[in-house]
Amino acid sequence: MSNSILVLGSSGTGKSSAIRTLNSDSTFVLGILDKPLPFKSYKNQYKKLQGWDDREGNYYSSDDWMKVLKCLKLVNDEFPHIKTIVIEDFNYLMANEFMRRACEKGYERFSEIAQHAWMVINFINSVRADLNVFVTCHNEIDATGVSKAKTVGKMLDDKISLEGLFSIVLHTAVIDGEYRFLTRNDGSRVAKSPMGMFDCDYIENDFSWVLNEISSYYGGC
């Protein structure tokens, strides 16, 4: 089974910046929103996929769940050199579909949006064992004051809990001006990791380091 990691946080708190430490030769970035990555010279490292026959690109952008799923399947099946996928701004996969369908009557669309998000995550959790997947998502504060994954409403939350589909959830934190990841639920922010995987509550804003710790914990998986 692959390693899938959900990364939650507000805009500008270090979700995307952690990509900078990954080896771009073995990383594929799938941006739901086609926006610049927040580190210097990223265009030299991440080249846009030029069609489904391209085997050299390592960046693709779409907010269409079917195209996202097709891209993930392509990387899983045809890109053996890729060892890490980063899906950026996952919540907009749901939000943009909701806005496109805002004029539809009835509640069926909420069930369908939830199903589409679930299908993408379900595939992520079934990719080849040597493929790691980071999913970044904006957070929101719920009625109890807890920071959780942002979706498009209570009905969707009742049908799909994003955090429950991942065994590792990191939450961004800014401490003394430095980006960090929270690894455990502190009562106000949803975060979790297997017992003993990380030796402290806050870890470095570094996806490469995170993967090394996960590999070491699972015995090189």
CATH number at residue 99: 3.40.50.300
The answer to whether 1 touches 122, Cβ cutoff 8 Å, is no
- Evaluate if residue 67 carries a pLDDT over 70: yes
The answer to whether 172 touches 179, Cβ cutoff 8 Å, is yes
- Residue 21, token pair as written in the block: 């430490």
- Residue 183, token pair as written in the block: 């690894």
**Mean pLDDT across 174-185:** 95
pLDDT tens for each residue of 12-54: 999 999 999 999 999 999 999 999 999 889 999 999 999 999 9
- Evaluate if residue 204 carries a pLDDT over 50: yes
Task: Please report, as a single letter, which amino acid is at residue 168.
Answer: I
- Evaluate if residue 124 carries a pLDDT over 70: yes
pLDDT for 143 equals 86
pLDDT for 152 equals 85
pLDDT band at 156 (very low <50, low <70, confident <90, very high): low
- Evaluate if residue 203 carries a pLDDT over 70: yes
Task: Write down the mean pLDDT value for the chain.
Answer: 93
**Mean pLDDT across 122-135:** 95
Which residue range forms the structural domain that includes residue 30? 3-218
pLDDT for 155 equals 63
What's the rounded Cα separation, in Å, for the pair 174 and 165?
26
Task: Indicate if the alpha-carbon torsion angle 26, 120, 194, 204 is positive or negative.
Answer: positive
pLDDT band at 221 (very low <50, low <70, confident <90, very high): very low
Domain total of the chain = 1
- Evaluate if residue 220 carries a pLDDT over 90: no
Residue 63 makes CB contacts below 8 A (sequence gap 6+) with 32, 33, 92, 93, 96, 97
pLDDT for 19 equals 96
pLDDT band at 111 (very low <50, low <70, confident <90, very high): confident
